[in-house]
Structure 1
């Protein structure tokens, strides 16, 4: 075997076919995903990893080592979820071990490396559990090593695949949750599917691997209502993942520091990069610590509690989606199973997830002494596609209500993602709210009520679009600098306004564009003008409900609540902090009132 050399072109093709196989079978993996939590996303997470590998291995390579280097790098960048990060650490372990081998293209070096990399995969996990992906990885790698008298990978790989299949089937007996649900571990099966495609391509020189269960016209896989009744509600809400560069601490120290913040902790480190996975109720504190030991490049935080509730007891057949600019209470979001696409906030070189890894109060503290202006960006196309991938297997239809198209590119990003769902039978409607902040929040509340009213999909969409014109938001701005810096107020006009100490009242027009609604020379003057406007609206059209939001000005918000309750005769539906994205342009101390009008007058 020592004299046997691996054909790097065959190896590259084998990786591509293994990755393709996993992507094709992602729905099956999602369906059987019950450990460590029943969030039904293992297939989607592994598909994301495999897509990254496909993209990286699409280029020409010149050696076995280069193939593994590309796979290792792509897997660390593309890994998502428990199994994805273990996968990534294992591939990186193989590459690291191959680097120290004298003959890097030989079958012997490959076999030694896949076995030695087992230790690195185990070390990535704070609490390794047998009966999962790690067990099947170990069984496969050890089988390759035990059969090392067999000549060539063409004979080694099929024997190891048979051992891996047996290990996979045994996972059902090793974990009670798998036994109760009569399934194998989803991550373990994902690895088995990968090595199946890898083996068939390498041994048979296949350029296309046919899936056992997938076809383009296959019916949509539904999640059984009773499939996961034995799983429990997650202790920690957010599945948090962060990719770090320029890491200054060893893996063991990172694991020790993060352990108090949650469970399911996995840390994969290689070449000064680290991919961290943790289930936590404090993703903001996790990121805060990691920012001190490296440069965060990517992050995500999936709401496992919402996913669990949808899997266990879906409240409607239509999914409602919005973005984090919509200011609506977190409790309402969870109770009504509303899915939120988070905006991203860039402060310095670090990106934060709006309302999850950063709140508006934190933003003002962090941004206080910075000369460089913070910026925001819409959810990435990949983020939207991942959410759609989760929703399409659980809902008959999806309604997405975005922040005003005139204020953000979110609407177009979501529309692009919806266009790509051509193979899906799930109907998707993307609606430009023509609003933002609490006005968008009130529209979301209306949409949730319409979804539960029993109307048809088309009737709901029609009613939501009609309701947009019955919403209004008025913002009292204290500090003009953020409005000038963000371009909401022209610099020339802003400088004049600052000189004469003008306090503007900002609103949105019918197209969703920002506009100066009125102004006063004091915050009290603003307050009087806004209350007067709302009294007139209530007298003419009747205000159905309203909400008050603020940018780190809770006392003033409570004062406004008392004044408005007296003016219109009832309490606001809610009071809450403004979204960080809106806070960036509205500035600290801003107060806003959003109202929903019962009906328009002539």
Structure 2
């Protein structure tokens, strides 16, 4: 019997309990502090990363897995020849991870059925999609149903985030269209999002973190209204605000699930400590 295997990468920031519960296979990206190299989420956990980031004189760099690593993982997860692999990854505008996955897919085209998707997102904005598809697989959905729902999620999921500083996005070259905000912030907090190609762009500026958080909730309320939603809140050592948002979201929205997660070392290297991201998508209608 054909089975569906779910593959993603460590930038999806999926809590370990959900990875285990839904049998999600995660390939790690790498973080480099000078000559030191770490595997995101494996040899460098979020709390360790942010402590190192604070004490290090070196700005961390990141790198994607190699095509060979993807080949190894695909062969490992496809235990039967008829298995179908859904491989969902970090925005191709931010990383070469997608390209590495596509090269591996091409190499294995005569062996395995691999379907690679560009999420055009980062952190739990990827994870919220991956987890929903993994739930469908666990319920026995077939490939067609999973791909249909995946395309819906990639179209309908929204993400907004706020950073303490644009320094990390700037220094790591991931600032995208948000570069227009440099030098003009003072006490303003940019509300950032990801556009259709999967680049960071500035949605608007708000004075202060609390007002920025309230504005993000208002933007999501405008789009999702009273419909039933899944919510993801990811943070970089800003658990207090993440918990406050979770309580407010449960009060304002019709939530089926709310997941809090830490932003891992790869995304954290680009957004910096203090960042909070909010992702939301509709619950599938029966």
Q: TM-score, normalised by structure 1?
A: 0.44
How well do the aligned residues superpose, as a CA RMSD in angstroms?
Answer: 2.2
The Cα of 1:423 is off from its aligned counterpart by: 3.7
558 and 521 in structure 1: CA distance in 2 versus 1, 3 angstrom threshold? same
In 2, Cα distance between equivalents of 1:521 and 1:447: 37
Q: Give the number of the structure whose residues are more often strand, by fraction.
A: 2
Find the residue that maps to 1:497 and give its secondary structure. Answer: coil
Larger Rg, first or second structure (1 or 2): 1
Q: How many residues align?
A: 282
The CA deviation at 1:401 is 0.7
Change (3 A) 1:571 1:554: farther
**Cα gap change, 1:571 to 1:518, in 2 (>3 Å):** farther
In structure 1, the residue matched to 2:135 is 449
> How far has the Cα of 1:432 moved from its partner?
1.1
Match status 1:523 vs 2:209? yes
Matching residue of 2:7? 321
Counterpart contact for 2:13–2:127, Cα < 8 Å: yes
Q: Where does residue 173 of structure 2 map in the other structure? A: 487
- Alignment partners' CA distance in 2, 1:489 and 1:501: 19
Contact 2:33-2:61 within 8 A present in 1 as well: yes
Matches within 5 A, 1:187-198: none
Give the equivalent residue in structure 2 for 1:227: none
1:555 to 240, 264, 274: 240
Cα deviation, 1:191-248, whole Å, max 9, x if unaligned, reads xxxxxxxxxxxxxxxxxxxxxxxxxxxxxxxxxxxxxxxxxxxxxxxxxxxxxxxxxx
The 8 Å contact of residues 398 and 429 in structure 1, kept in 2 or not, is answered as yes
Using structure 2 for the length normalisation, give the TM-score.
0.90
The aligned residue for residue 157 of structure 2 is: 471
Pair 595,478 (structure 1): closer, same or farther in 2 beyond 3 Å: same
CA displacement, residues 295-317 of structure 1 (integer Å, 9 cap, x when unaligned):
xxxxxxxxxxxxxxxxxxx9x81
Corresponding residue number in structure 2 for 1:546:
231
Determine helix, strand or coil for the equivalent of 1:496: coil
Tell me the secondary structure at the aligned position of residue 595 of structure 1.
Answer: strand
For the pair 1:368 / 2:66, whether they are aligned, the reply is no
Q: Deviation digits for residues 6-60 of structure 1, max 9, x if unmatched?
A: xxxxxxxxxxxxxxxxxxxxxxxxxxxxxxxxxxxxxxxxxxxxxxxxxxxxxxx
How far did 1:598 drift? 4.6
* Distance (Å, rounded) in 2 between the aligned partners of 1:524 and 1:582: 23
Q: Does 1:579 align with 2:225?
A: no
Aligned match of 1:512: 198
Describe the shift of the 1:579–1:496 C-alpha distance in structure 2 as closer, same or farther (beyond 3 A): same
**Does the aligned pair in 2 maintain the 1:438–1:473 contact within 8 Å?**
no
Point out where structure 1 has 5 or more consecutive residues left out of the alignment.
Answer: 1-313
Distance in 1 (alpha carbons) for counterparts of 2:139 and 2:57: 50
Which structure features the higher share of helix residues?
Answer: 1
Separation of aligned partners in 2, 1:339 and 1:385: 13
SS in 2 for 1:401: strand
The Cα shift of 1:494 comes to 4.8
> In 1, distance between residues paired with 2:121 and 2:182?
27
Q: Which structure exhibits the higher relative contact order, with contacts defined as CA atoms closer than 8 Å and separated by 6 or more residues?
A: 2
